[in-house]
Structure 1
Amino acid sequence: MHLAQNTQTRRSIAIVGAGQAGLLLGCGLLDQGYAVTMVTNRTAEDVWNGKVMSSQFIFDPALQIERDFRMNQWEKDCPATDGISFSIPMPDGSGNKAMHWHARLTAPGQSVDQRVKMPGWMKEFVARGGDLRFEDVGVEQLEALSREHELVLLAGGKGEIVNLLGRDESRSPIKQPMRQLALTYVTGMKRHDYYECVNFNLIPGVGEYFVFPALTTHGANGTQACDIMVFEGVPGGPMDCWGDVRSPEQHLAKSLEILKTFVPWEYERSRDCQLTDANGILAGRITPTVRNAVLTLPSGRKVFGMGDAVLVNDPITGQGSNNATKGAKHYYDAILARGDQAFDEAWMRQTFDALYNGYAEKVVRWTNSLLFPPPEHIVKLLGTAQQVPSIASRIANGFNDPRDYANFWFDPADTDRLIDTEMQKLAA
């Protein structure tokens, strides 16, 4: 269903940052008759020809928002991922699996390389009548934008400017990076003998490895299918090993070495892989952070944070682009509902708190929980999923809407209740 157009208003809004949240919101507001200015420091060519930025897997509820905003340009070309698989290796180093199951998602998810998506969305933004500007933004530029527009949104997730928002300590319990992260974009991976999955491997004491199909750049104008390897190493552990990597070739070799050592079943289907391109690699660390939603400029005018600028999750649950998408839709609804009223600080705080308390808090809590060794009741839950398909399905489809995990993930009594209920159904 296409969103109905409203041509009765011409309120002016500026968005700093041309990423998943900013471009989606900007294009949606243009369709509703708003005047939208977007400012970014990278051109479409810069993004297309640059390094990969994330793994950006998006599950169906967020994909539906893209469809509703007519922003699903690559859906027919992008490989579909139909399920979630979960494996834990035997602790004896034998290379066998101690645990393995897979379950279908209610609808497929997809990953489109941001180097493909963001240039395409920039073009769409301009085609819908948006004012796209390229410059670095600091406090001086924010002041100018706030003089020219009724609302300024800070959606850039990287760079010093987002740090001006300040960290919300009450919502950010983790104070340092919990994983050494690395991405490797490859072609030539062998397929599993079951449906396409986000293949998640938990290696106790070492970290996590997951991999899934995606659509990436190829040549000057086209795209190609690939697979994205995501490594999450416990700091100081054997997967925290990227510091000495100096070239794309070394990065690929290190990736395959990790697979061969810890998840040999993944190595067997990856051993002949090649990098998609020299820029198809990334390594770094992220501190999970919730920032304050409102920035007060020296003039006293307010800037409203959104997307990665205010919500930074570890990629371990693949929720970053989903949070950005759902957050953009939440802000879109709040802006339209505001009518002609001022976008004041109280409205900004109410809008963000509604998003955080109604959705994001549960995502943050679940994601943060996976950065620590699993408690006994979660080990029991994951093990039971091998024998009880309905539990595997419940866990897998929590990725679509992580709020469901609050019903069975955190409290051992809730976990036991779910296990007992589903096992009784299975036995009936």
Structure 2
Amino acid sequence: MRKILVVGAGQSGLQIALGLQSQGYEVTLMSNRTADEIRTGRVMSTQCMFHTALQHERDLQLNFWESQAPKIEGLGVSVAAPGSWAEGPAARAIDWLGRLDGYAQSVDQRVKMAGWMETFAQRGGQLVIHGAAVGDLDYFSRAYDLVLVAAGKGELVQMFARDPERSPYSEPQRALAVSYVHGLGPRPEHPDTEGVRCNLVPGVGELFVMPTLTTSGRADILFWEGIPGGPLDVFNGVKDPAEHLSLTLELMERYVPWEYARATKVELTDAGGTLAGRYAPTVRNPVGRLPGGGLVLGVADVVVANDPITGQGSNSASKCAAAYLSSIVEHGDKPFDEEWMRATFDRYWNTAQHVTKWTNAMLAPPPEHILNLIGAAGELQPVADRFANGFNDPSDFENFFYEPAKAQAYLVEASGAGAA
């Protein structure tokens, strides 16, 4: 029986550990927190998982909360008219809702990771509650056939060198501020459709609003992404959750008043329901070398960390776990050497590269042809639907998004179909 160590109990680490466990591998999982500590701690992300990523969970029968979590059937985009907030609340220049082919869902990672961790232990997995340092892995690497590093923050990440060719940004491109709330009203334009809402405020940042399942039931996430140094970059050092929410709402009232109108009665889900921070989007070398010569393989956002502006973090983690799981099982009893590690990462990069390209494009000021696409989606439902479904399969953006000629050809085709 092959022995595998997974360090880090997030979406990808737990999905791989549970998947390997179901295939008969002897798996040890290291987490720096217990399930209870995770469940009662601070929110960790703004996870919204689309159809393909959810299907990876279903394939492993890990979709424990599917019947309880809101079914997100649409993805909407609103754009504030540039400069309209100078004299008062902003006005909307664009507003539309695209339909998803398969619904998306968001389950607070405090709920999911705690539940999955307990399941792993109940099924006989070796769960070690200990923050791992490089020295620990040096020791463990001699006892395991494979060591996977899925802890995306802290000292271990430094083992994986930044890949400058795939990492155009060296500084954070957004300041992030998250609030989990109860009491958000429906969008009056589509009161019966659960949707993720992407509100773009040119030159300022973005507000994302999405339904979720949290420790206290159904809730909504309010998530600001502010351009560093701009008017949304005000959360640094704010420790009081009530002050964090108050700031969030003040900014909504000015920059996205159509969302603020349904948020006047919100309250935080719990004292741990806020999060703020920033990080530079980075792609890293997937193989880490330990002081004693052993090799470890980086997983998910250890090796590909994108800004959350396109909501891909949990989706990418699920897809990475599925790709790595297949590579491990297919490899049989052959050694997990450096060549295998690089091939395994390349298999994941085949899909991840599209996420990175799209995310980095969305962080930059949009060129005219992309503004035309987003505007046309308000008149042509198929364009709105295609844009929305790109969140599930970002590789489709290659076909109509990046190049002005392809975008124009697609809009001509879509307009003709609309007229017909």
Task: Note whether the superposition's TM-score is higher than 0.5.
Answer: yes
Give the letter for the 1:164 counterpart: M
TM-score scaled by structure 2? 0.97
User: Which residue is equivalent to 1:391?
Assistant: 383
* Distance across 2 between alignment mates of 1:400 and 1:180: 24
Count of residue correspondences:
413
TM-score scaled by structure 1? 0.95
User: Which residue is equivalent to 1:411?
Assistant: 403
User: Which residue is equivalent to 2:243?
Assistant: 250
Question: How far 1:351 moved relative to its partner?
Answer: 1.0
User: Which residue is equivalent to 1:13?
Assistant: 4
* Distance across 1 between alignment mates of 2:122 and 2:238: 42
Deviation string, structure 1 residues 346-372 (Cα, Å, up to 9, x no partner): 00011102221x111111010011111
User: Which residue is equivalent to 1:311?
Assistant: 304
Q: Map of 1:317-356 to 2, 5 A cutoff?
A: 317-356=310-349
Give the 4+ runs in structure 1 shifted more than 3 A.
Answer: none
* Distance across 1 between alignment mates of 2:358 and 2:47: 18
* Distance across 2 between alignment mates of 1:245 and 1:350: 43
User: Which residue is equivalent to 2:42?
Assistant: 51
* Distance across 2 between alignment mates of 1:362 and 1:110: 22
Is 1:286 matched with 2:284? no
Aligned identity (percent) is 48
Question: How far 1:96 moved relative to its partner?
Answer: 2.7
Contact kept, 8 Å, 2:236 with 2:277, in 1: the verdict is no
Contact kept, 8 Å, 2:181 with 2:267, in 1: the verdict is yes
Deviation string, structure 1 residues 15-39 (Cα, Å, up to 9, x no partner): 0001100100111111111100011
Contact kept, 8 Å, 2:134 with 2:155, in 1: the verdict is no
Give the letter for the 1:395 counterpart: F
* Distance across 2 between alignment mates of 1:373 and 1:20: 31
Contact kept, 8 Å, 2:49 with 2:106, in 1: the verdict is yes
User: Which residue is equivalent to 2:413?
Assistant: 421
Which has the larger displacement, 268-277 or 244-253?
244-253
Question: How far 1:95 moved relative to its partner?
Answer: 3.4
Gaps of 5+ in 1: 1-9, 219-223
Is 1:266 matched with 2:264? no
Question: How far 1:246 moved relative to its partner?
Answer: 3.5
User: Which residue is equivalent to 2:211?
Assistant: 213
Give the letter for the 1:381 counterpart: L
* Distance across 2 between alignment mates of 1:262 and 1:359: 34
* Distance across 2 between alignment mates of 1:258 and 1:283: 15
User: Which residue is equivalent to 1:3?
Assistant: none
Return the match for 1:372 from 364, 370, 379: 364
* Distance across 2 between alignment mates of 1:350 and 1:64: 24
- Give 3-state SS (helix, strand or coil) of 1:214's partner: strand
User: Which residue is equivalent to 1:231?
Assistant: 224
In angstroms, what is the RMSD of aligned CA positions?
A: 1.0
Gaps of 5+ in 2: none
* Distance across 2 between alignment mates of 1:139 and 1:241: 35
Q: Map of 1:78-227 to 2, 5 A cutoff?
A: 78-91=69-82, 92-93=84-85, 95-193=90-188, 194=190, 195-218=193-216, 224-227=217-220
Question: How far 1:244 moved relative to its partner?
Answer: 5.2
Give the letter for the 2:257 counterpart: P
